Structure 1
């Protein structure tokens, strides 16, 4: 039986296509072989998304043999079907809580490194032929209440913010907000495929269709077993994020908290419809709720709109979740209420119990590391986390990773109850949204 996490079984079925707009609008991917037979590497990377591929690219550039094992096709998971927003997120703590926990120096270092990384990631997109898919100069953060509007013009270190005036309409921009830069929108599936090409071009092996079914420790070596082969390596980096399985290795169990996100893409909007919300342009946007919405106008003139979903991702809930997204569009962007949702899909993001990313050693002696927990901001934080994880396994001190994302996340007690924990947390956060 294939190891999987706590969500509905269908969430983990890589043989099932995901009917996303990204899949429909991207050219076919190049042929990429699966793992066949016995193979060795210096570093085995489990997970071929943003983090795993970024790590492989860095390691290969350092002359370290890296092999990426991806369960599905490249981009089948969250890296190929997210909202396509590369921005300053990655944790779910308030600014005050982040400062109390880690101190001003480490928080400043964290944000400055992320801002520098986002600027470099934008350059990578342009250099790899995705320039026509790069949208906006920042991410629009819109206040959900007058209280939430206060302080939005104070950007994190390394970022800038320019105010967004209240729209004067009954929409999500009624209280105004700020555009935080650097940030941008991108086609996520084309980006993850470009990262796979870059990793392979640097010398890493990228092997989709190679789910890890068993993990054996044999002395100082690890052996990862796939349906048609096995890989031996001295070091293993786990970069599976919201799809992190239980029962694969004891060091992993209970550390990743998957949370379902729903996304819809409408038909192309008419000029009259777009004129109803003239403040929404090239910059991707999100509101300040705990149970936030995120949205953007795509280059094709369609609206992409995302929000949190149910707690298991079961197929039986799909129709209800689709209607929930359609209702939220009508509430927050009423001028687009009649624009039919032509595409709808969902899948897990990854949270952690400490509400910050987790990049570090799970077992330093056995050389098992992790890079996960992007809290819905995997384009920026996932690619940065993979880069930092590569440095770690290549010999850099753990202190080079900023404290807000350093080290493994704690295990939750009774990890099989994670959907229950998520359900309770979502109710509490929704209640908080109504009073703030």
Structure 2
């Protein structure tokens, strides 16, 4: 499996993801490679949510000549293989942590920005008539230990009081009776504006919208190198050179080591693994009492996240291997299945039918950045695995940066990603963190 920590390039000869989303998403379009030299105002590298939204915004609302290129096909990276969680936030810092770090007023600006991100996704789905199977709203943050239940109650009070955000606290009894019969959940927070969808279908919809707006979109066109020239940039692909005034790197965790080292060194690629089970039968559904097909995530340091899909399969995800070479080891799928069965009684005979992994871009300070580190070069990265909604908004903000607009006064727009200390040893640090996380989740 491609590994951005060690591979200097992302080429177009990658194995198929073989995900549930690929099997369930009809009419997938294959975009051809670019084969002739061209010039444009802006070239966007990466056709995930961020790059597609940047291309769409530049073409539709700024009338810019924009080219979007992707090493494989749009949505091949994390945008097409994530769990499909539309969440109000990004990074790994909650509003209380943001308030402690930056002050309550700035935290409220973050909350507003996160709300605009969800609103953008909702609007694009409606305007583009994107068939991405959005499920009824409902996201539950689950306390995985009894002692954390009080923490969730305090969080609910904080969010209601300072942000007028109508979260709701559920104790264990109410959770089991009205949401799900979960064996390892002792309380929950219910978030009213979050939901699940088909992430690959969403990426396909964004692709179509970008092209219809006037952006040129090419697949199987990996960037071999780029350099500055008199008119801006020369971006070299296997069969063509693209000359542009502006360059946008929308590659996030999939940034190859040799593409732009400053970005690669500031964004740790972390594997998140997912299994999807066979469909639950009526007896199993009755046993787990999973209502509303809601999305869920627990409070572990090494979190598990899961949802009941429209066809009554369970999607269950969590941290996987450390390296790309080990990503396909069935050990990690078996661990996820074992964790699923500990969570839900009556599923002892359940097996999984799909298993895959994808890279998540983790920043050093747990916050993403949308930034221009040097003239006419721009990037957005570091969503920490919570980027489905915000990455669409980040694409819009990138387009505004390219066109000279001033972004809101938020820290994520005022500085670049911080490079990891001792960057050559990031993986060793990750291994130590995983060991600590497992110990904390089990014993503390």
How far apart, CA to CA, are the structure 2 residues paired with 1:277 and 1:186?
21
Contact 2:12 2:222 in 1 (8 A): no
Residue in 2 aligned with 1:136? 136
The Cα shift of 1:138 comes to 2.7
* 2:276 counterpart residue number: 265
2:405 match? 396
Q: How many pairs align? A: 431
Q: 1:375 and 2:384 equivalent?
A: yes
Correspondence for 1:287: 298
Partners of 2:9 and 2:257 in 1: CA distance: 15
Structure 1 partner of 2:107? 107
Contact map agreement 1:137 1:184 (CA 8 A) in 2: yes
Q: 1:116 to 1:221 in 2, by over 3 A?
A: closer
Do residues 426 (structure 1) and 425 (structure 2) align? no
Instruction: Return the alpha-carbon distance in structure 2 between the equivalents of residues 33 and 194 of structure 1.
Output: 17
Q: How does 1:14-413 map to 2 (within 5 A)?
A: 14-61=13-60, 62-130=62-130, 133-149=133-149, 150=151, 151-154=154-157, 155=159, 157=163, 159-166=165-172, 167=175, 171=182, 174-315=185-326, 318-363=329-374, 365=375, 367-398=376-407, 400=408, 402-404=410-412, 406-413=414-421
1:105-160 deviation per Cα after TM superposition (whole angstroms, max 9, x unaligned): 22111111211321331232244344671112131111112332222424483743
Q: 1:132 to 1:423 in 2, by over 3 A?
A: closer
Structure 1 residues 339 and 170: alpha-carbon distance in aligned structure 2, compared to 1, 3 A threshold: same
TM-score calculated relative to the size of structure 2: 0.90
Q: What is the CA–CA distance in structure 1 between the aligned matches of 2:90 and 2:6, rounded to whole Å?
A: 22
Distance (Å, rounded) in 1 between the aligned partners of 2:164 and 2:405? 24
TM-fit CA distance, 1:355: 0.8
The CA deviation string for residues 137-190 of structure 1, in whole angstroms up to 9 with x for no partner, is 131111112332222424483743123331469835631202212111110000
Q: 1:313 to 1:160 in 2, by over 3 A?
A: farther
| Structure 1 residue ranges, 4+ long, deviating more than 4 angstroms after superposition | 7-14, 167-170
User: How has the CA–CA distance of structure 1 residues 330 and 54 changed in structure 2, closer, same or farther, with 3 Å as cutoff?
Assistant: same
CA contact (8 A) 2:88 2:117 kept: no
Alpha-carbon distance, 1:324 to partner: 0.9
Q: Indicate how the Cα distance of structure 1 residues 231 and 8 shifts in structure 2: closer, same or farther if over 3 A, else same.
A: closer
Checking the alignment, whether the CA contact within 8 Å between 1:115 and 1:159 is kept in structure 2 is no
Is contact 1:266–1:302 with CA below 8 Å preserved after alignment?
Answer: yes
Q: C-alpha displacement at 1:338, in angstroms?
A: 2.1
Structure 2: give runs of 5+ residues left out of the alignment: none
In 1, Cα distance between equivalents of 2:186 and 2:348: 20
The Cα shift of 1:20 comes to: 0.2
Stretch moving more, 403-412 or 138-147: 403-412
Give the SS at the match of 2:125. helix
5+ unaligned residues in a row in structure 1: which ranges? none
Distance 1:249 1:219 in 2: 20
Residue range with higher mean Cα deviation, 6-15 or 216-225 = 6-15
